[in-house]
Structure 1
């Protein structure tokens, strides 16, 4: 076991780890390794400071860590890809269980399945698929550094979902370490009804609620093209005249704002109606794994604050009125960051995932993802570098939610993988089916796995309270890009973060 320490952090509660025969490393604040292990891009949450990081290598490491944290009453959160939009993979004063080293991927070509360890990111899976067979594909995320298990726990929307369903629709089994440190593998046809219920719950019930996912098995598919080629890219309606003509055309209206950054299909001819509006055409033929979107805000050199809000709309939801609201919001966004053309780090935009199709084959009650009648999943994203914009950016996202949420399904539907820390009715927005609380009560009755917007056992008293209108910057003091300087290497980034964190800890003493 390896440990690096800082005098400001008491190691006493963790001395028992030294007596355990496990292969993990333990990291304390003050080291570059600690900073690398807990790094997230968003400056709003980057400096949450867990007391230790446990870097698990085996399932036994995970089980021992869970049992230790529960025995000592310590908060525990799990990190693999680190893409939690609200930074819920981190915590203050507890344990972060880093499972990113548990990233093995194996393909069963004969049975068209792939088994993936819980700490893998999509890059790990996609690179192996491409190496084995260019046609092989699976329902995964566009960003290569997103954690596979977290993506699946939150339902898993993909540009391929209209044809092959959500990620959870392709999930065959999942193995988790429960709050008791027990290893449990669940499938849809388990004889044990409690295990069947758990498999139902984890398919859309979100990460961090029922246990630590250590492995998943999911379906593979063969694309029709023998080389795995699809068409991806952007169609941009740049001129006001083109946008106005587009929005007034009833036949084409639901193409509006449809695919955001990526549209995949076999033939460009399928998109012919859109070309009548003379868009800037960025569509290209490419291998499906080359579609990936590298989000700079999650990069190690990221120096931005960002905040999201999400909505899920039903078929026909993008009416002329909604399209007009979206256009109005985009005009307002331009005024918020008027220098965005020259400073790409600051921007506000709305991204759209198009589902429906195969995702509607299952009923809302068949999985814990309740919004099966959804066709458009939208996220309003605000990103900025000037700390003075905190209040203004959050108010913009709040305004977008105020204007658009009434048109979402049941006036509350949101996507848990785009989790928004400011949602007041998060129980209904993300966990609409009350059965989730009953599953939670069975597998985690003491509410060991918890965060600010987690599922609670039936009758459990909330442990997280905040005033209406709460915003993250009111609780924490995020660093500024000026404090981060202009690092040239990853080592420099982590060293700078360590220096800032040591300073923060010393001021608290």
Structure 2
């Protein structure tokens, strides 16, 4: 199984090594005329280690990732992607695919191989009459939101605008609209996919249906998706953003209130509860800086001129659970609501996340959540409680590759810190918290928050659930040589 490892990590162990940073050679050992010929076939450009823009080309959002590819093919269209896939396959190079570069596992860059970089492929074409949009594979959520909101429409995507649509959608895609309109992958109508043999295919309900099934939850195992066609929904343009912080000591009361809200309210909102410490930032009253909290975040999902007012009334119960530390809720544009968490996840910070599904929110589990939150070595780390259900749970478990749909709670364990010297403590906190919360789980993780999958195939199979064997068959058909292996990798039976 091909795995990814943090900066300074030894692939033979799950812990960081001391001394010099882990490096692999970047020279692919290919003759210069061959590289020149490849470069001449690209409408974009080929970036080599000696080029001045190599360092930014290999940098990712997650500062833990420090890999040195031999080549970066900055593509401008489908033909460039086809040429790049063929070149990597024919020359035996490891192949990574970069969309938004925001995946926490850092699989968008590889050591000593070729990166297919889609970051300049950001065109978006919206059909307001048909309520659909086609977005190229390098688009971020912000790119897609800006284009669709011009027409009062939105695709269900994630909650941080710098996230790439590609990795998000291929592994599910959870955001503020998940309970009303489903996951990102549930709203995928079709996709253009470059497969390992260099073919450009359309995957949809009528073409290459097996591939279409697999890319809706199976990750980047099957090819490079160069364009996504989404179903859109009326949202905004003004919405209500619930953003209220309560004392952590009231976590049981707050989480239970949110649980009741989800059970009783219509699917107008998909709350996210966050346990952490209030940042020392101007947005928060100085009197509460550093205090442990449990927050409730939610965005109303209505449309029209009075959407924000109606949404504010609908979300009011979440703001009145008990006396808050602070309440930053407001009427705002949907595009701004989609960006309000961006400042919490700056480029270059060190990130290590894991996730756990759970069938219930027991008193003991809530107690453990508060204890682990208080023990976090970084003030920027959080434990997030995603309240599930609604539209995302009404899709059949085998209708798409995305698994564990019926589980009502997902816990995201986010280790977020700023200094390499603190890495061991933060990695240990995430791993220990994950191991403890697993006792409350019936299995399964969210593959957009995978950690580095040190636990191996068992955890990977849980992430894909009962769909793993079918996914393996599709993988064997479209990528028998496992060219696309820098991901939560599904082994082809022929490999």
TM-score interval w.r.t. the shorter chain? Answer: 0.7 to 0.9
User: What is the match of residue 400 of structure 1?
Assistant: 433
User: What is the match of residue 34 of structure 2?
Assistant: 16
Which runs of structure 2 are paired with 1:439-450 in the superposition (5 Å)?
Answer: 439-450=474-485
User: What is the match of residue 216 of structure 1?
Assistant: 228
Higher mean C-alpha displacement, 278-287 vs 49-58: 278-287
User: What is the match of residue 376 of structure 1?
Assistant: 409
Q: CA deviation at 1:378?
A: 2.0
CA distance 1:73–1:290, change in 2 (3 Å): same
- Structure 2: runs of 5+ lacking an equivalent: 1-24, 264-269, 275-295, 301-309
Give the Cα separation in 1 of the matches to 2:129 and 2:160: 28
User: What is the match of residue 395 of structure 2?
Assistant: 362
Give the Cα separation in 2 of the matches to 1:327 and 1:358: 29
User: What is the match of residue 198 of structure 1?
Assistant: 211
User: What is the match of residue 367 of structure 2?
Assistant: 324
CA distance 1:71–1:206, change in 2 (3 Å): same
- Is 1:228 aligned to 2:263, yes or no? no
CA distance 1:297–1:10, change in 2 (3 Å): farther
Alignment deviations for residues 252-311 of structure 1 (CA, whole Å, 9 cap, x no partner): 5989984337301243333444414122322111121111245457544x3x32211111
CA distance 1:152–1:239, change in 2 (3 Å): closer
- Is 1:148 aligned to 2:165, yes or no? yes
User: What is the match of residue 177 of structure 1?
Assistant: 194
TM-score in terms of structure 2 length: 0.80
Q: Number of matched residues?
A: 426
Task: Say which SS state the counterpart of residue 415 (structure 1) adopts.
Answer: coil
Alignment deviations for residues 420-446 of structure 1 (CA, whole Å, 9 cap, x no partner): 103433322322222110000000111
The 8 Å contact of residues 306 and 383 in structure 1, kept in 2 or not, is answered as yes
CA distance 1:22–1:276, change in 2 (3 Å): closer
Give the Cα separation in 2 of the matches to 1:63 and 1:143: 30
Task: Select the residue among 335, 349, 368 that pairs with 1:289.
Answer: 335
The 8 Å contact of residues 26 and 112 in structure 2, kept in 1 or not, is answered as no
The 8 Å contact of residues 354 and 375 in structure 1, kept in 2 or not, is answered as yes
Task: Say which SS state the counterpart of residue 204 (structure 1) adopts.
Answer: coil
User: What is the match of residue 8 of structure 2?
Assistant: none
Give the Cα separation in 2 of the matches to 1:254 and 1:130: 27
Task: Select the residue among 56, 72, 75 that pairs with 2:94.
Answer: 75
Q: CA deviation at 1:248?
A: 7.9
CA distance 1:322–1:429, change in 2 (3 Å): same
Give the Cα separation in 1 of the matches to 2:180 and 2:271: 20
Alignment deviations for residues 348-383 of structure 1 (CA, whole Å, 9 cap, x no partner): 211233321011111111111111102322211112
- Is 1:113 aligned to 2:105, yes or no? no
CA distance 1:419–1:287, change in 2 (3 Å): same
Higher mean C-alpha displacement, 383-392 vs 324-333: 383-392
The 8 Å contact of residues 122 and 137 in structure 2, kept in 1 or not, is answered as yes
Which runs of structure 2 are paired with 1:52-71 in the superposition (5 Å)?
Answer: 52-71=71-90
CA distance 1:435–1:128, change in 2 (3 Å): same
Higher mean C-alpha displacement, 279-288 vs 53-62: 279-288
The 8 Å contact of residues 187 and 196 in structure 1, kept in 2 or not, is answered as yes
- Is 1:262 aligned to 2:274, yes or no? no
Q: CA deviation at 1:105?
A: 0.3
Higher mean C-alpha displacement, 274-283 vs 356-365: 274-283
